């Protein structure tokens, strides 16, 4: 760290942060428990740096007198991390030498297993454990709920997923396209989008330019997908947001209504904005969500859309939809596309079949150090469950992985063609 960068760091009004703490050398040498508290709090959160040799005012303690003095301070840190903490804390040290003084930087690694505790021993046995976590204003004792979570989980809850979604449709009536006698992805039977488009077919045709179909139809599905996802989640959360919880207060949650959605999408077709308010398309009253949850839909109306569930400063589940490519054909990756080509014949540029492609990303996180909430397992289960629902219903990749190899369908088709030909020949011979 350059001298100017270091001086800028210790000259700030708020010198200490979630990942930085300043200590005097005297504290290390006379109050090791205070050092242990700080190191443990870092390890139980995101890790962090403790800089030893700096006053709260930013003044440095001065230069080290000798290499032996440096080694002694490093030994004190090692002894604290091993003897005063359980499990022992992983760390590295570095000496920074400046003209105004030297500082010892202890870089604490984030925990990779059970939470760390400051321990007290008697007769060689641990008699007391105290658990801390770092906050932006120092350290805080962990609650029972937080400890329970941390013993079960090696880190904070984070759930990230990304997959493709393909919406196949017929460009004559813009209905969702499915095929007989072959597997179809669940989205092909999406009630909300299919019903909504048919009810607003004239408006859809009015805003569709056949020569620039991608520019008009792709945004149509892009803007309907967040509401389609809400309907799908609603059907899976009827009367309760968490059916498996043992906490009766968490079993029901609160009833959700259309007015609870904050929709700030820009440049959207007017008939969509008004149409989604019609409860014959969208019945949110059947969906229950955790207490305090908010729902927001945003996007540019053309290429990006986002559906976000969140509780301020505690959790967030964000579903981002990005417009991708568009094809005038049956989706090429479908293992049975060769069969479909033979069955439906018209899959070239003049075909009625189109498909619009999107990339859906799910990003969820939860801050278990928000003391206003407990029962973190319930929230984790709920967020993972929402992610599973969305992925199972909309993921093109998941659908492709769930069906047999295309060669089996080609064999089946060829056998069917052969049997039909033999039956036809047999019937002619009888005549």
pLDDT confidence bin for 272, thresholds 50/70/90: confident
Residue 275 has pLDDT above 50, yes or no: yes
**Segment 147-184, tens digit of pLDDT:** 998 998 887 888 999 999 999 888 888 888 877 666 78
Write down the pLDDT at residue 77. Answer: 97
Angle subtended at Cα 364 by Cα 360 and Cα 367, rounded to the nearest 5 degrees: 165
Write down the pLDDT at residue 425. Answer: 65
Which residue in this structure is represented by tokens 């003044």?
A: 59
More confident residue, 295 or 336: 295
More confident residue, 257 or 79: 79
Residue 395 has pLDDT above 80, yes or no: yes
Query: Does the N-terminal peptide bond of residue 87 adopt cis geometry, omega within 30 degrees of 0?
Result: yes
Residue ranges of domains in the chain, CATH in brackets = 3-152 (3.30.950.30), 157-411 (no CATH)
Query: Does the N-terminal peptide bond of residue 399 adopt cis geometry, omega within 30 degrees of 0?
Result: no
Determine the average pLDDT of the residues in 261-286. Answer: 76
**What DSSP state is assigned to residue 308?**
E
pTM of the model: 0.80
**Segment 308-364, tens digit of pLDDT:** 999 998 999 999 999 877 877 667 776 556 565 555 443 444 467 788 899 999 999
Contact 366, 157 (CB under 8 A): yes
By CB atoms closer than 10 A (0-12, 13-18, 19+), residue 340 is buried
DSSP string for 19-62 = TEEEE-HHHHHH-HHHHHHHHHHHHTTT-EEEEESB-TTS-B--
Residue 282 has pLDDT above 70, yes or no: no
**Segment 202-254, tens digit of pLDDT:** 988 888 776 777 777 888 899 999 999 988 888 877 667 776 666 666 666 67
Residue 11 has pLDDT above 90, yes or no: no
Write down the pLDDT at residue 240. Answer: 73
Write down the pLDDT at residue 185. Answer: 85
**Segment 176-187, tens digit of pLDDT:** 887 766 678 889
Write down the pLDDT at residue 233. Answer: 87
**What DSSP state is assigned to residue 50?**
E
Could you tell me where the beta strands, DSSP code E, fall in 171-197? none
Determine the average pLDDT of the residues in 383-404. Answer: 90
Write down the pLDDT at residue 345. Answer: 47
Contact 409, 182 (CB under 8 A): yes
By CB atoms closer than 10 A (0-12, 13-18, 19+), residue 248 is exposed
Please, what is the average pLDDT of the chain?
A: 84
Residue 285 has pLDDT above 80, yes or no: no
pLDDT confidence bin for 86, thresholds 50/70/90: very high
């Amino acid at each position: 760290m350059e001298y100017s960068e270091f001086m800028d760091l210790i000259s700030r009004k708020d010198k200490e942060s979630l990942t930085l703490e300043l200590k005097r050398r005297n504290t290390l040498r006379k109050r090791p428990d205070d050092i242990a508290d700080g190191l443990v709090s870092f390890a139980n959160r995101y890790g962090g740096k403790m800089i030893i040799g700096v006053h709260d005012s930013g003044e440095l303690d001065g230069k080290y007198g000798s290499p032996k003095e440096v080694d002694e301070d490093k030994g004190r840190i090692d002894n604290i991390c091993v003897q005063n903490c359980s499990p022992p804390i992983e760390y590295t040290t570095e000496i920074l030498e400046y003209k105004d003084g030297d500082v010892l930087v202890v870089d604490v690694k984030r925990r990779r297993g059970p939470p760390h505790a400051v321990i007290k021993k008697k007769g060689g046995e641990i008699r007391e454990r105290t658990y801390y976590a770092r906050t932006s204003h120092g350290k805080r004792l962990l609650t029972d709920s937080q400890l329970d979570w941390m013993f079960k989980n090696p880190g904070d809850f984070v759930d990230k997923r990304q997959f493709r979604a393909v919406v196949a449709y017929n460009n004559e009536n813009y209905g969702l396209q499915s095929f007989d006698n072959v597997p179809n992805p669940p989205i092909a039977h999406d009630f909300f989008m299919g019903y909504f488009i048919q009810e607003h077919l004239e408006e859809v045709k009015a805003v569709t330019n056949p020569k620039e179909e991608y520019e008009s139809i792709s945004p149509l599905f892009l803007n309907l997908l967040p509401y389609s996802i809400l309907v799908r989640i609603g059907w899976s959360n009827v009367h309760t947001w968490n059916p498996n919880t043992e906490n009766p207060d968490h079993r029901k949650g609160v009833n959700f209504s259309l007015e609870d959605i904050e929709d700030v999408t820009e440049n959207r077709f007017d008939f969509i904005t008004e149409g989604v308010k019609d409860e014959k398309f969208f019945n949110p009253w059947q969906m229950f969500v955790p207490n305090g949850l908010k729902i927001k839909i945003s996007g540019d109306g053309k290429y990006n859309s986002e559906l976000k569930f969140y509780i301020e400063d505690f959790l967030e589940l964000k579903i981002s939809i990005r417009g991708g490519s568009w094809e005038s054909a049956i989706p090429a990756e479908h293992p049975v596309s060769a069969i479909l080509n033979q069955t439906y014949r018209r899959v070239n540029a003049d075909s009625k079949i189109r498909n619009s492609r999107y990339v859906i990303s799910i990003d969820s996180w939860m801050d278990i150090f928000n003391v206003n909430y407990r029962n973190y397992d319930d929230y984790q289960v709920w967020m993972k469950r929402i992610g599973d629902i969305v992925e199972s219903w909309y993921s093109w990749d998941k659908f492709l992985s769930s069906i047999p190899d295309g060669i089996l369908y080609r064999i089946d088709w060829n056998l069917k063609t052969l049997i039909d030909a033999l039956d036809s020949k047999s019937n002619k011979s009888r005549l």
